Amino acid sequence: MKTIRSTMSLALGLGFLAIPAVGQFYSPMTIDPSLLKFLPEDAAFTAKVEVTSRAPAYRWPVRVVLFKGMTRVEMDISKMAADQTEKRWADYVGQMQKAGSAESVTIYNPDRKCVFTVLPRIKAYTQQPIPDNALAQLKQWPKAQKVELGAEEIDGRTATKTRVVFSKDEPAVWRTRETPEAIIWMAKDAPGIPLRIQVLNSVGETHVTLVFKDVKLKKPGSALFLPPKGFSKCDQESLTKLITAKWPKDK
């Protein structure tokens, strides 16, 4: 089996959790406190989200579920559009699809003190603990300065545009040194619905942009934040073996 190590990072790059690459093929996307700090503490919704990164450059549609500080991100590597310079990238994605590792779900669950990475096609998952010191820091929700910048239309909806700035001295779990501020567009007719979040890095450049569509405020079920019943729990080595067994053989 030939593996290709992509020059891109496919994760948001916002998290304090060093999520290892699933089956050493790619890094799944995780939404954790570094992004949650820009949303209301009681945010609870389901949405389609297009994630756009400036460097490395990619666009990736994913499905996101939030509830009580827990997050779920459903993704498919084959749906990502990127400035990919590696000639065999398309073949590589095809191999992942055949092996069952192109689709994945990442669940950030501080209640269970861990992050689950699920591969639905293989019916397997890994479980990574959240460090105790990080769990302690999560109880110190950071305070932000908010400056309203007026109203704008986002996909036909009126949104309140606000700049949110955090102190760079906040606990490390919130990653305010790397992403200290964001511009947020919240639906004016439903304040709990974000329409766009533009996260800025420490020098004021756009780090990543998230566009929210088809947002539903219905309370998500708690089962969405746990691995499906009947799935096998694996460590990284055993998960790699499962993927390798299904990986297309070289001709």
- Yes or no: say if 12 and 4 are a contact pair by the CB < 8 Å rule: no
Secondary structure (H, E, C), 177-205: CCCCEEEEEEECCCCCCEEEEEEECCCCC
Report the chain's terminal Cα–Cα distance, integer Å. 10
pLDDT tens digits for the chain (251 residues)? 333 222 223 334 333 333 334 434 566 788 889 899 999 888 899 999 999 887 667 788 999 999 989 999 999 988 887 665 566 777 888 888 888 889 999 999 999 999 999 999 999 999 999 999 888 888 888 889 999 999 999 888 999 999 999 987 888 888 888 889 999 999 988 877 899 999 998 888 888 899 999 998 888 999 999 999 999 999 988 988 888 888 888 76
Instruction: Spell 40-79 as b/e; 16+ CB within 10 A means b.
Output: eeebbbbbebebebeeeebebebebbbbebbbbbbbbbee
What is the pLDDT at residue 250? 72
Per-residue pLDDT, 26:
64
pTM: 0.86
The two beta strands, 232-233 and 124-129, are parallel
Give the pLDDT confidence score for residue 11 in this predicted structure.
Answer: 37
The residues spanned by each domain of the chain are 33-141+216-246
- On whether the CB atoms of residues 16 and 37 are closer than 8 A, the answer is no
pLDDT at 7: 24
Task: Please report the pLDDT score of residue 172 as a whole number.
Answer: 85
Dist. CA 125–CA 131, nearest whole Å: 19
